[in-house]
Structure 1
Amino acid sequence: MVSFLEVVYWVTVLCCLGQKHLVTGGCSGKCCRGRNMGCSTTDWRMDRAFAKCYCDEDCIKTKDCCFDYFTECPAQDCAASAWSFWSGCAKPCQPSVRVRVRQVEQQPGNGGDPCPSLEERAGCREYRDHRGSQCGLSSGPAFITSLEFGKGRPKHDSYGNPLDPGFCMEFKMESRTAHCTVENRPHTLWMRYITEGFKVCVACEPPALQNRSCQGDGQESNKEAVLQWQAVGNPHCRGTWKKVQKTPQCTCPTQHIFIFT
């Protein structure tokens, strides 16, 4: 950004030079992307020299921009659309991944912020195969994922009737693997909040509720029973927990609320 003192300097220089070096327009109508050697003119440069100057994006790095580059070629940040709906799971009847995408609506320019990631993947599990038949139940750990990925679950059946809202299970974390903290992908960051000794809440909602997928939650087990869980989206993030209590709604802090998949 040009400071007030710099503006005073240029006004003074231009007034003093008279007709010797008139400003010829600088970057007006000459802004270019990337490095373009032809995107130039002869005018006052930002280093206060009257010489060949440029109006391309790379002139900021090479420090040879024309004096009015930042006003005539303002930075343009990348603009992306809203995320699409999540796709279905890649594989039915087993932990898998789903995808959502977004599109670039405005390309970055003149040193503006680059585009963010245009695709996200998240762990998921569906309960019907490609023919619509219900998947068979299998024994194993309770599969959990972030509460964020449960927002798209249906709240009504095909006739418009409200589905059973389910319940919440509170657990005390007994153990977890180190793999829960090493992932940096956006859809796995929630796993960092699974901490030993902490109380976590897990919502059991349709379709997990309808398919008895909460059977590993310990609701029928002794409170002292050590049960297993696994994070969907990272099969190496797993551990054990003990049941605390069953409640109508989850009351844990948001970052400690998960859902059964």
Structure 2
Amino acid sequence: MRKLLLAGNWKMNKNVAESVELAQTLVEKLKGITDKDILICPTFTALSEVSKVIKGTNIALGAQNMYFEKNGAFTGEISPDMLKSAGCSHVILGHSERRQIFNETDEMVNKKALLALEEGLIPVVCIGETLEQREAGEALGVVETQLRGSLNNIVGDDILKVIVAYEPVWAIGTGKTATPVEAEEVHAYIRKIFSDIFGSKNAEIIRILYGGSVKPDNSAELMGQKDIDGALIGGAALKAEAFEQIIKVAK
């Protein structure tokens, strides 16, 4: 049985003081929850302070991105070692906004995932199609290409540390959500492709999250699907009550 993971991606929101305040509220609201894993991903500037707030609690800390080199002359970038020293255990890679706005490719996401694993971070690898691709009937093909490209050359037990997040680009921040049936179709396909590449046993272990306008009023039905193992939550994760509600109704 795969344990649900509810991850909050705060994106470019909340300064350090606001992030600490939200983290403190979440610690109080979510204490005692042990049947699900909880992850929050603040901005880089808030990581260290939020880490202090959630240390020793049931909430893990993740970053929203990292670079694929360990160090060097890469102005404005951040390394896995820096993230670990700030308290991170997870890192989101290849989010649709990174792919769309900053032109990240599967190859870049793959290099980041390989380095994250090498450095002891758990990568949350994001994949998903645009509205044009879905309307053209290309959704499954796009997702397969991204999955294969982003997870290339990951071998052995490392693959079991990877978390996949399916986030249809057309449902990110638009208020539109894939129906539970639409989401489950893609999640089941991702698990099938994963099985083809890494074996059926590993495919049953890996967690596949859904991301795309997840809210308290749609999360229970989404999380109830066979191949949906949690959620990558954006806007609703910025409100403690909404994030709490999503986590508590998820089964």
Q: What interval of TM-score do these two structures reach, taking the shorter chain for normalisation?
A: under 0.3
TM-score, reference length from structure 2: 0.21
Kindly indicate whether structure 1 or structure 2 has the higher relative contact order, using CA contacts under 8 Å at least 6 residues apart. 2
TM-score, reference length from structure 1: 0.21
The structure number with the bigger radius of gyration is: 1
Larger helix proportion of the pair: 2
